[in-house]
Amino acid sequence: MNFVHIADMHFDVPFTSLNERNLGNSRRLDQREVFQKIIEYIKQNEIEYLFICGDLYEHEYVKASTIEFINNQFKQIPNTKIFMVPGNHDPIISNSYYAKYKWNTNVTVFTSEITKLSEKDVDIYGYGFDNFYMRNSKINQIKIDNPNKINILLTHASVDGNSDELREYNPMSMSMLKALDFDYIALGHVHKTNFEENKPIIYPGSTIALGFDELGKHGMVVGNIDENKRLQTAFIPVDKKQFVEVNINMDEILAVEELIEIINKEDWEENNYYKLNLVGKRNFEINPIDILKYINSPNVLKVKDKTVLPYDLEKIAKEESLRGIFVKNLLEKMNEENRDLILKAIEIGLEAM
């Protein structure tokens, strides 16, 4: 049997960071294009199963027209059986589209009750969210009914999450998942893929990158399990755009005009979104918002000031001078909460002196 595994599409997510450059609508169009690309791949390669492991859409924001678009795509692959598990952004609650919408006949939506659906050569188990949080997982209750068949599990989960926040989202351990002895476990929730070729427990990652915390390539996992339960998988990128961080060393840049000229001379790739990290020692006051206004490329979305003051503050604080007293007094007032503000005040004061 062969399959495509995706997760975390997040249709109609607001793309707040992109809206600053009026690119939110463009990225939502990218979502549609990528989804159509996946459906076309399934059609051309006669894929038997499509696994969608949660957060297909944003419950709070999704439009009825988007659900119609998704379902119309499903109608393009009538011979493919589609299995979906709701996630924490699209739980199966009373007013959700999973509950109230009439999906195409080739679509099955799992609930928060562990369910097994039997096909000719495969048993598919699913477990989804019925609320925006799921603190107590039932996955460890699963017992495989027929070990001789191919057995697959679909769920949306936080595996080995070591923070209180991650424990809010169907928490479980990798060791427990391995002990269940499924031939393939299709996961969703984590937006960075853990893909390794022929590995049986997979996060495909978000299907398209949603921001600068999701660097690298994004796409789908395709797999095949033969009659001897041999698993073969591959990761296929489908998102033509990437979020990229670039560091600009400020040591030798002496003025904001010089910095803007350097940025505008760069050939920024059209299919990338960029975050510029200003690093090294700064020689002038930096206002990232003002700098961004003068950058020509619409694909440069963020400027982040990560520079350090070009001064040895501890040394200056020991000077018997006006600037020594000034720096010493401010350093004594500095704590974790006001650190950036104090350092900015020191910078302005020393520049004035």
Cα distance between residue 322 and residue 145, in whole Å: 80
**CB of 160 within 8 A of CB of 174?**
yes
The pLDDT tens digits of the residues spanning 261-276 come to 999 999 999 889 999 9
Q: Where residue 107 falls among pLDDT bands split at 50, 70, 90?
A: very high
The pLDDT tens digits of the residues spanning 18-61 come to 766 677 888 999 999 999 999 999 999 999 999 999 999 999 99
pLDDT value, residue 11? 97
Helix and strand element counts for the chain (H, E)? 10, 16
The pLDDT tens digits of the residues spanning 308-345 come to 877 888 889 898 999 899 989 999 999 988 888 898 88
Residue 48 phi/psi, 5-degree rounding, is: -80, -35
Average pLDDT, the chain: 93
The answer on pLDDT for 282 being more than 90 is: no
pLDDT value, residue 44? 97
What SS3 state is found at 227? coil
The answer on pLDDT for 347 being more than 90 is: no
Q: What percent of the chain has pLDDT over 90?
A: 77
Q: Where residue 285 falls among pLDDT bands split at 50, 70, 90?
A: confident
Secondary structure letter of residue 45 according to DSSP: T
pLDDT value, residue 283? 87
Q: Which two tokens stand for residue 112?
A: 């928060």
The answer on pLDDT for 222 being more than 70 is: yes
What number of CA atoms fall less than 13 Å from residue 336's CA on the CB side? 0
pLDDT value, residue 166? 67
pLDDT value, residue 309? 78
Determine how many CB atoms are found less than 10 A away from the CB of residue 128: 28
The answer on pLDDT for 14 being more than 80 is: yes
In one-letter notation, the amino acid at residue 5 is: H
Higher pLDDT, 346 or 43: 43
pLDDT value, residue 120? 86
Alpha helices in the chain (DSSP H): 16-19, 24-44, 64-75, 97-100, 174-180, 256-265, 288-293, 313-317, 322-333, 339-352
Determine how many CB atoms are found less than 10 A away from the CB of residue 323: 16
Determine how many CB atoms are found less than 10 A away from the CB of residue 119: 14
> Which residues 6+ apart lie within 8 Å of 97 measured at CB?
57, 62, 67, 90
pLDDT value, residue 344? 83
The answer on pLDDT for 163 being more than 90 is: no
The pLDDT tens digits of the residues spanning 58-71 come to 999 999 999 999 99
pLDDT value, residue 353? 79
Sheet of strand 300-305: strand arrangement = 242-249, 272-279, 300-305
Q: Which of 312, 307, 309, 311 is nearest to 249 (CA)?
A: 307
pTM of the model as a whole:
0.85
Sorted by where each begins, the domain ranges of the chain are 2-237, 242-352
The answer on pLDDT for 195 being more than 90 is: yes
**CB of 152 within 8 A of CB of 115?**
no
What number of CA atoms fall less than 13 Å from residue 110's CA on the CB side? 26
Weakest mean pLDDT among 4-8, 119-123, 307-311? 307-311
Of 1.10.15.40, 3.60.21.10, 3.40.50.970, 3.90.1150.10, the CATH number of 2-237 is 3.60.21.10
